[in-house]
A and B are shown apart, each in its own frame.
Chain A
Amino acid sequence: MSRIDVAFSRCRAAGNTAFIGFVTGGDPSLAHSKRYIQAMADAGADVLEIGVPFSDPIAEGPVIQDANIRALAANTTLDGIFGLVGELRQEGYSPLPLVLLTYLNPVFHYGYERFFSRSAEAGVDGVIIPDLPFEERDELLPAARAAGVDVISMIAPTSTERTERIAREATGFIYLVSSLGVTGVRSQINTDLDAIIQRIRAVSDVPVAVGFGLHSPEQARQIGPLADGFIVGSAIVKMIAADPQAAEQQLHKYVKEMKAALGALDAAGGTTRAPNM
């Protein structure tokens, strides 16, 4: 069982929804990213995504675009991010699932085989590539499989009849895009997520994590029970941008609050949602 499988099984058994946090690697430095990841993991985050900065992140809203600019200004490279993953593995975070979110060009440029073997070596469990749709995956899938790294599939509200085809082939978890548009905090999600998740579950046992626009405990209480995972990106990056020093503690507190809203036992020992045991 992969680290990703173990984490989702643990959440399922405990009757809560996995919290998946995102940081842009190297924003504002790799040393900061490490502390943010550790703070979120210590607070109960189940999976962490590390964004590989890219010059032109076309699926991102302004918050993560700016984080990419800061990380590139700090000279963050793919090798630097592999180094960060390696350090986390050595420093007591060995079971923590770590997933890279990267645009395809840095991976293509690095070389698919080299990228995936370095990923496996460093301890990367999966990759999310927003500009690599299902039809184009074949060019890197053999290298990913050989290295044992999951290529996370994305499904969108517009996927319609593509949904089942993508879900059947998915491994690790499925990234369900909550709404049209780019990343960024939204006050309301109007997509019928339940219906899409039903379609996915009819053909696949792979956990479904919802992302794009999610940030609040209210959303966690609403959407959490439908899904296996709840992904927060821009809200975390915003906290980091506002105050890189205070962010470590704020993230710890935020993740605890979110995990509680997602049904985990909270710090006081009570539950906000009855575990399904």
Chain B
Amino acid sequence: MSQPASKPGRFGEYGGQYIPETLMSELIALEAAYEHYRQDADFQQELAGLLASYANRPSLLYYAERLTEQLGGARIYLKREDLNHTGSHKINNVLGQALLAKRRGKTRLIAETGAGQHGVATATAAALFGMECEVFMGREDTERQALNVYRMELLGATVRTVTSGTETLKDAVNEAMREWVSRVDDTHYLIGSAMGPHPFPTMVRDFQAVISAEARAQLLEREGQLPAAVLACVGGGSNAIGSFYHFIPDTEVRLIGCEAAGRGIETGQHAASVAAGETGVFHGMKSLFCQDDQGQIAPVYSISAGLDYPGIGPEHAWLASSGRAEYVPITDDEAVAAFELLARAEGIICAIESAHAVAYAIKLVPTLDRQQSVVICLSGRGDKDVAAIARYQGVNINE
């Protein structure tokens, strides 16, 4: 059920390797290396050790009792990826890929980042493994997430401000790909989401699947039954695919991805690839993309830099088209309201990305009964967003 029978690297019609010829040999070598190390006990042991001793895994599955009481309905559990080292789920994938890159003899990591969480995680792994690191970040994002820029620099990374196109995450990916095609020998492109050409969507999903492996076992222990639903925010979709993966065979569990509807789907100012996108080919993969009637990639918008991306990973496109997962649009207003509600009810300031998943839970939970439970992936912590939320609410604070 997890992957339909088709070519390797395909999820139904989605996925593939749509990338310039210059990168093909490297992708094939990466795929072979990944196939080798995913079955290599020594590699897996080293990774598990790092996740436990460095990244703070397993992450808590926290019963949000006050929020549950306030909303009335299913019991709400938060998978606390925000408590990982570096403050988000991104570290799970970064440690896996950085370790793989190191074993392959690469000495330099490059990455794209939107909110800065993936950039910070990559800079962290580069520092830990003694590798060189360059992070590409759209100019608009370097402004919304100035703290994370400085954080990456503290960790020894070089942040390259991207001024092409819409100056956001999509353009950061473009520039990282251009850099990779220029210097492929010593460099690993550490893609931060479950997107891009094969083997990235599969590899990133496998490294993030630790979220659902833990959450499933933790919830069964606490509740003695599976949750009614698992919710996660979706940009490229790495925390969502990681949260869904081990629940995919449990067909009674609803899998719900929460997309950024920005100012509303009808305004055109959103980043909702499932709700408003069409099948296309971009950034190395066939998937769903926001695009115009000429197949030009559309400029997208979200309050959340991490969800401000015009596409979605190919496995999500397949889960959406097969009906196994649902994808729902959440506006900026709804996300901000959820961000504030969670802070006051539970004393947890989550990332504005994760708040999109909390926002849908606010709608869903009251429709379920007290015997049921839901799991929300709290993909990251919200320190980075405090200034932006204040601005959004018209509050002037000195940063």
Residues of chain A touching chain B, judged by Cβ–Cβ distance below 8 Å, are 54-56, 58-59, 61-62, 65, 72, 77-78, 104-110, 130-136, 154-160, 162, 166, 177, 180-182
Contact = CB atoms under 8 A, between A and B. Distances in A.
A58 B318 CA distance: 25
Given A108-B280, A158-B24, 6 more contacts: A54-B296, A55-B297, A59-B20, A59-B181, A131-B18, A133-B24
Given A108-B280, A109-B294, A181-B182, A65 B164 contact: yes
Interface stretch (B66-74, B170-178, B261-269, B323-331): B170-178
Contacts of A65: 164
B295 A110 contact: yes
A103 to B, nearest CB: 8
Given A159-B24, A162-B24, A177-B22, A105 B17 contact: no
B398 interface: no
Contacts of A133: 17-21, 24
Contacts of A131: 18-20, 281, 284
B182 A182 contact: yes
B252 interface: no
A78 B21 contact: no
A86 to B, nearest CB: 19
A162 B22 CA distance: 11
19 contacts: A56-B165, A56-B171, A56-B297, A58-B174, A59-B181, A104-B18, A105-B289, A106-B295, A109-B280, A109-B291, A131-B19, A133-B18, A133-B21, A135-B17, A158-B21, A158-B24, A160-B25, A166-B21, A180-B183
A56 B311 CA distance: 13
Interface in B1-46: 16-26
B295 A56 contact: no
B386 interface: no
Contacts of B281: 104-105, 108, 131
Contacts of A108: 279-281, 286, 295
Given A106-B294, A108-B295, A177 B21 contact: yes
Residue with the highest number of chain A CB atoms closer than 10 Å, among B184, B282, B284: B282
Residue with the highest number of chain A CB atoms closer than 10 Å, among B16, B171, B294, B297: B294
Contact of A105 (B20, B171, B184, B291): B291
A246 to B, nearest CB: 27
Contact of B295 (A109, A134, A155, A157): A109
A227 B313 CA distance: 41
A182 B21 contact: no
B187 to A, nearest CB: 11
Q: What are the 7 tightest A-B residue pairs by CB atom distance, in nearest-first order? A: A109-B295, A181-B182, A106-B295, A156-B22, A55-B296, A154-B21, A55-B297
Nearest to B26: A158
Interface string B294-312: 1111000000000000000
Contacts, number: 109
Interface in B151-180: 164-165, 170-171, 174, 177-178
B282 A105 contact: yes
Nearest to A102: B295
B181 A180 contact: yes
B177 A58 contact: yes
Interface of B: 16-26, 164-165, 170-171, 174, 177-178, 181-184, 278-284, 286, 289, 291, 293-297
Nearest to A106: B295
Contact of A182 (B170, B178, B282): B178
A238 B291 CA distance: 29
A105 B24 contact: no
B188 to A, nearest CB: 15
A181 B20 CA distance: 10
Contacts of A156: 20-22, 24
Given A56-B174, A56-B282, A109-B295, A180 B184 contact: yes
A78 B181 CA distance: 27
Nearest to A61: B178
Contact of A56 (B16, B25, B170, B182): B170
A135 B26 CA distance: 14
Contacts of A158: 21-26, 184
A78 B292 CA distance: 13
Nearest to A107: B295
A54 to B, nearest CB: 7
B160 to A, nearest CB: 14
B309 to A, nearest CB: 12
Nearest to A175: B21
Residue with the highest number of chain B CB atoms closer than 10 Å, among A62, A134, A158, A162: A158
A169 to B, nearest CB: 13
B21 A180 contact: no
A130 to B, nearest CB: 5
Nearest to B16: A136
A132 B18 contact: yes
Contacts of B165: 55-56
Contact of A130 (B20, B289, B294): B20
B296 A72 contact: yes
Contacts of B171: 56
A180 B182 CA distance: 5
Contacts of A180: 22, 181-184
A159 B295 CA distance: 29
A159 to B, nearest CB: 6
Nearest to A176: B21
Contact of A159 (B21, B170, B279): B21
